[in-house]
Amino acid sequence: MQARPFTAEKLTDALRTVVQNGLISRARIDEAAGRVLRLKFELGLFEHPFVDVSRANTEVLGTGRELARRAAAASQVLLRNEKDVLPFGPAVRRIVVAGPYADDIDDQAGGWTVGWQRVPAGVKLPGTTVLRGIEEAAPAGTQIARAEDDADAVAQARTADASVVVVGERAGAEGGADSPRPELSADQQALVKSLRASGRPVVVVVIAGRPPTLGDADGTEGLLMSWLPGTEGGHAVADVLFGRVNPAGRLPVSWPRRTGNDPLYYQQLPGTNSGAESAHDVAYDFGAGLSYTRFTFDGIGADAASVPAGAPVRVSVQVSNTGAREGDLFVPVYVSRPVSDVLAPPRRLAAFTRVHLRAGERATVRLAVPAAALAVTPGDIDGSGPPRVERGAYVFTAGERAVTVDVT
């Protein structure tokens, strides 16, 4: 099998070969090239092929910074908030910031940033680290102490009101980042364990492209999954820690409790037997995530008690914000079948949406479940046959509420 072409010369040679072999027509090449040339003509690149550097520096660079900050903040997933340690309030006057990724913009950006695996050596990436974001967001009079090393962090934590420890994985991409054991390193686990022993609240911020097993780093008062939040990630994390943003992100995969428990997705079977490594034994489940306010699912209904196979099922979910501040709620609707001829997950994500609710507000959210979300592939070992919707009863749930719809 021929290797993928990674240079323009190799791509040209490979393309010429497939055209000569009749795998791609000349007309298709002309079509693709024509689109590129047309766009260049429309942009005036043939008349003015070089950018005005002075205008680029003043009008282009940094224009997406606020959008990057909002996007990073929207992706933050708060998983633990014991005793409402977050957001930090006026009583928190001294915060120790520790961890190997607290002041590391390159790893915060992740792989495929400037370079393939990570930011190349010698390239200075503009942006805001978590440490800098916390320093800039801290209210007047709040002291932010940067630990010099792990021992210094533990020593300072004994007299601090809270510690924020930023852990994670070194940035990488395909190949370099592949690991059968996605877990926090032993030294990071030991640091968090030592900080917990101080008796002061500890908030763990995870910088990683996947959920690692936490080991001894689990059980802290706060846990924020920040993913790879990019150059404005420091501001985004600080926005959540200090309450400027009410977190609304939810886990798109389950969080393994231990090495061997692979993350599960919304349509996978949660384990095949009772063994510890194959059962659905997770630290945090798919869709987990907390808010600084409280939401309730008050009810779920369907527009019709029965629908024909192939038609969408329309449901309505009643939700409330019973807390003291506004926030965004992720509203998932799951589907399951009491009886099925085809082995399928106990429940599947059928539809979802996001709704903003003010404090004390109630709303009815309407969602359409497409027939494709109900379809299975019966009697086909390799799953290559056409999917179809089985007739019978389907149970739709939102929170603890459920409604049954017959598909006829």
What single string gives the DSSP state of each residue in 153-171?
HHHHHTTSSEEEEEEE---
For residue 1, pLDDT beyond 50 = no
Token pair for 142: 């709040």
Q: What's the whole-number average pLDDT of the chain?
A: 91
Query: Of 63 and 249, which is predicted with more confidence?
Result: 249
For residue 179, pLDDT beyond 80 = no
Q: Is 395 left (phi over 0), alpha (psi -120 to 50) or beta?
A: beta
Q: Cα–Cα distance between 153 and 144 in angstroms, integer?
A: 12
**Which tens digits make up the pLDDT trace of 227-251?**
999 999 999 999 999 999 999 999 9
**Which tens digits make up the pLDDT trace of 14-53?**
999 999 999 999 999 999 999 999 999 998 999 988 888 8
pLDDT value at residue 100: 97
Token pair for 249: 């992100």
For residue 2, pLDDT beyond 70 = no
With cut-offs at 50, 70 and 90, classify the pLDDT of residue 280. low
Q: Cα–Cα distance between 179 and 202 in angstroms, integer?
A: 28
For residue 205, pLDDT beyond 60 = yes
pLDDT, average across residues 316-326: 98
For residue 358, pLDDT beyond 60 = yes
**Which tens digits make up the pLDDT trace of 245-276?**
999 999 999 998 887 666 666 555 455 555 55
Long-range contacts of 338-342 (CB under 8 A, 24+ apart): 338/393, 338/395, 339/392, 339/393, 340/376, 340/390, 340/392, 341/378, 341/390, 342/376, 342/377, 342/378, 342/390
pLDDT, average across residues 294-298: 98
Its pTM stands at 0.86
Q: Cα–Cα distance between 251 and 203 in angstroms, integer?
A: 18
Q: Cα–Cα distance between 393 and 408 in angstroms, integer?
A: 9
Lowest mean pLDDT among 113-122, 170-179, 274-283, 355-364: 274-283
**Counts of helices then strands in the chain (DSSP H, E):** 9, 16
- Given a contact cutoff of 8 angstroms between Cβ atoms, the answer to whether 161 and 94 are in contact is yes
Q: What percent of the chain has pLDDT over 90?
A: 76
